[in-house]
C-alpha cells in the first residue's frame, strides 16, 4: 500500500477557479478579514489596509509596462509582508503603523556589470521592540529561524537568484547560474508491520541531494533495482513509464515498525517524523495543476559565511527590490535589447504571480493553493 506524500505538518488545500487567477487570488486575500476558518491569523481587520494597498500595487503592476512594474511589485510585496508579520501576532498593527519600522533593505549607488552583480544591503532585526526592519522580521516569520546577522550585510543578487524557479532557465542562460531548487516526488509505503518513506530525484541531482540529507538513513537505487511491488507503486502513483523511470534515482529511508497500529495513526506519526527531518528544506509546489507530482526541496544557502534556511518567496522579494531600485534610479542600465531587460521582463511576466501564490500559501492555514 502507498500514498503520495509531502513532508509537511501544515495542511494544503487546493482550490480551483475558472475566474482570472489574478482576480481570484486577491479575492482570497480580501476574504481573510471575514473568514471564520482562518483562526490563526491575528488582527484581521487591522491588516486589511495593507492587503488592500498591496492589491492596488499588484494589479497596477500587472497592467503596466515591466519598466514600472518592478517598482510596483516590490511595494505590493512589502505591504503583504507587513500584513503577514502582524497577522502572525508577534508585532502589533499599531507598532507596524508607526514611523519606527523600516524596509530593512537598502542599496548604495552602483553601476553593476549586470543585474546579477547588483548589491543589496540587508539590515538586522532590531532588538529594540519599538523599532524593526521588515525584511529580517519577515524572514523569521516565514522560515521560523532568526535572521542570524547582528549587523548590516551586503549580498549580490547572484547569491540568491537560483531560488526563483519560474525564471530558472533565464537565469541560467543569461547569468550562468544553475537552478538552486530540487523537484522531488515521494511516497509513503506500508506493509503489514512497517512503514517507510521513499523519494526520487533526477539522476543529475544525486550529489546535491546527498549533501543535504542524512545519508546513513537512506539507501539509493535505480528504478530497476527496486522491489517489484515498489516499482508498481511508483508507476501507479505518478504514471511513470519504464523509460522515464530510468532518469531517476530512488532514496529509501530505513523502515519503521508500527505493528498493529491503525493506519491513520501510522500516517500521522510518520508525517511528524519525516516533516521534522525536512522542515528546513520543504516548500510546496505552487500550482497543483502543473505540479501535483512534485514538491520543492530548498537547499540551505550560504550568505556571508552563514548557512540559512531559504524560500523562493524571499528570492522573489529581493529581486523585486532590486528592480524597483534599478528601474527607478538607473533606467539607462536597461536598454531594450539587453540581457537584463529580457530577464526583468521575464520575471515580471512569470515570477511575480508565483510570488503572490506563495504569499497566499504562507498566509493561510490550511494553506490555500489556488489553481
146, three cell numbers: 532568526
Predicted local distance difference test score (pLDDT) of residue 259: 77
Cβ burial, residue 335 (10 Å; 0-12/13-18/19+): exposed
Q: Are 164 and 315 in contact (CB under 8 A)?
A: yes
Predicted local distance difference test score (pLDDT) of residue 308: 96
Predicted local distance difference test score (pLDDT) of residue 78: 97
Task: Tell me how far apart the alpha carbons of residues 360 and 369 are, in angstroms, rounded to a whole number.
Answer: 7
Predicted local distance difference test score (pLDDT) of residue 289: 67
Q: Are 188 and 2 in contact (CB under 8 A)?
A: yes
DSSP 261-307: --HHHHHHHHHHHHHHHTTTTEEE-S-HHHHTT-EEE---EEETTEE
Predicted local distance difference test score (pLDDT) of residue 286: 85
DSSP 86-99: HHTTSS-HHHHTST
Task: Tell me how far apart the alpha carbons of residues 41 and 33 are, in angstroms, rounded to a whole number.
Answer: 9
Predicted local distance difference test score (pLDDT) of residue 356: 97
For the chain, list residues with pLDDT below 50.
Answer: none
Partner residues linked to 201 by β-bridges: 249
pTM for this model (two decimals): 0.94
Q: How many CA atoms lie within 13 A of 209 on its CB side?
A: 23
Compute how many other C-beta atoms are within 10 angstroms of the C-beta atom of residue 67: 17
How would you label 158-184 residue by residue, b for 16+ Cβ within 10 Å and e otherwise? bbbbbbbbbbbebbeebbebebbbbbb
Q: Where are the domains of the chain?
A: 38-178+320-370, 182-297
Q: What is the pLDDT of residues 117-149, one digit of tens each?
A: 999 999 998 756 667 899 999 999 999 999 999
Predicted local distance difference test score (pLDDT) of residue 333: 86
Task: Tell me how far apart the alpha carbons of residues 248 and 204 are, in angstroms, rounded to a whole number.
Answer: 8
Amino acid at each position: 500500500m502507498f500514498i503520495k506524500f509531502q513532508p509537511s505538518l501544515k495542511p494544503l488545500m487546493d482550490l480551483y477557479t475558472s475566474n482570472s487567477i489574478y482576480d481570484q487570488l486577491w479575492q482570497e486575500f480580501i476574504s481573510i478579514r471575514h473568514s471564520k476558518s482562518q483562526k490563526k491569523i491575528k488582527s484581521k481587520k487591522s491588516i486589511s489596509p495593507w492587503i488592500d494597498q498591496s492589491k492596488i500595487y499588484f494589479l497596477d503592476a500587472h497592467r503596466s509596462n515591466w519598466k514600472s512594474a518592478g517598482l510596483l511589485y516590490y511595494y505590493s510585496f512589502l505591504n503583504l509582508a507587513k500584513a503577514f508579520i502582524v497577522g502572525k501576532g508577534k508585532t502589533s498593527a499599531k507598532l507596524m503603523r508607526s514611523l519606527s519600522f523600516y524596509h530593512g533593505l537598502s542599496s548604495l549607488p552602483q553601476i553593476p556589470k549586470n543585474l546579477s552583480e547588483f548589491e543589496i544591503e540587508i539590515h538586522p532585526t532590531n532588538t529594540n521592540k519599538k523599532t524593526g526592519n521588515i525584511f529580517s522580521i519577515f524572514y523569521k516569520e516565514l522560515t521560523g529561524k532568526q535572521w542570524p546577522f547582528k549587523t548590516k550585510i551586503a549580498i549580490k543578487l547572484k547569491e540568491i537568484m537560483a531560488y526563483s524557479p519560474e525564471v530558472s532557465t533565464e537565469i541560467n542562460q543569461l547569468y550562468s547560474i544553475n537552478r538552486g531548487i530540487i523537484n522531488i516526488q515521494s511516497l509513503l509505503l506500508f506493509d503489514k508491520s512497517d512503514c517507510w518513506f521513499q523519494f526520487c530525484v533526477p539522476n543529475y541531482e544525486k550529489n546535491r541531494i546527498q549533501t543535504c540529507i542524512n545519508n546513513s538513513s537512506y539507501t539509493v537505487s535505480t528504478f530497476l533495482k527496486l522491489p517489484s511491488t515498489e516499482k508498481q507503486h511508483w508507476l501507479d502513483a505518478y504514471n511513470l513509464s519504464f523509460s522515464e523511470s530510468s532518469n531517476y534515482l530512488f532514496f529509501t529511508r530505513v523502515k519503521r515498525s508500527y505493528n498493529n497500529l491503525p493506519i491513520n495513526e501510522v500516517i500521522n506519526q510518520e508525517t511528524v517524523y519525516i516533516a521534522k527531518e525536512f522542515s528546513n528544506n520543504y516548500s510546496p509546489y505552487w500550482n497543483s495543476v502543473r505540479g501535483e507530482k512534485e514538491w520543492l526541496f530548498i537547499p540551505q544557502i550560504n550568505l556571508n559565511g552563514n548557512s540559512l534556511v531559504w524560500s523562493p518567496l524571499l528570492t522573489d522579494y529581493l529581486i523585486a527590490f532590486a528592480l524597483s531600485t534599478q528601474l527607478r534610479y538607473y533606467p539607462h542600465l536597461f536598454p531594450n535589447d539587453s540581457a537584463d531587460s529580457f530577464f526583468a521582463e521575464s520575471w515580471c511576466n512569470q515570477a511575480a504571480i508565483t510570488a503572490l501564490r506563495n504569499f497566499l500559501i504562507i498566509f493561510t492555514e490550511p494553506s490555500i493553493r489556488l489553481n
